[in-house]
Amino acid sequence: MTPLSSVHHSESQPPFSGQRLLTAQDVAERLGVSERWVRDHATRRSPRIPVVKLGPLLRFRAEDIEDFLHCQLVATSSKKALDGV
């Protein structure tokens, strides 16, 4: 097991900067999807939602959910640009 002190994190964003972690239900409400959809995309389906696993529990950082949304928006916008829409 790797000690936490040896794990490298981005200098600009600490891994859990004191913010409350979100539940799958919180994320589902934010995205307007079912809790099952969130769990599927956190564990096995694409596009993958970044997740923090605490034993059997799944928790999410709000920043990761916003980044996920942004990446999906960029991917959609880029495809439309390529199609000439």
pLDDT tens readout for residues 21-46:
999 999 999 999 999 999 999 999 89
H and E: helices and strands count for the chain? 3, 2
Indicate the fold that domain 20-83 takes in CATH.
Multidrug-efflux Transporter Regulator; Chain: A; Domain 2 (1.10.1660)
Q: How confident is residue 18, by pLDDT bands cut at 50, 70 and 90?
A: confident
Q: How many CB atoms are located within 10 Å of the residue 13 CB?
A: 10
With the CA atoms of 19, 22, 27 and 28 taken in that order, what torsion angle do they form, in degrees rounded to the nearest 10?
A: -160
Q: What is the pLDDT of residue 8?
A: 44
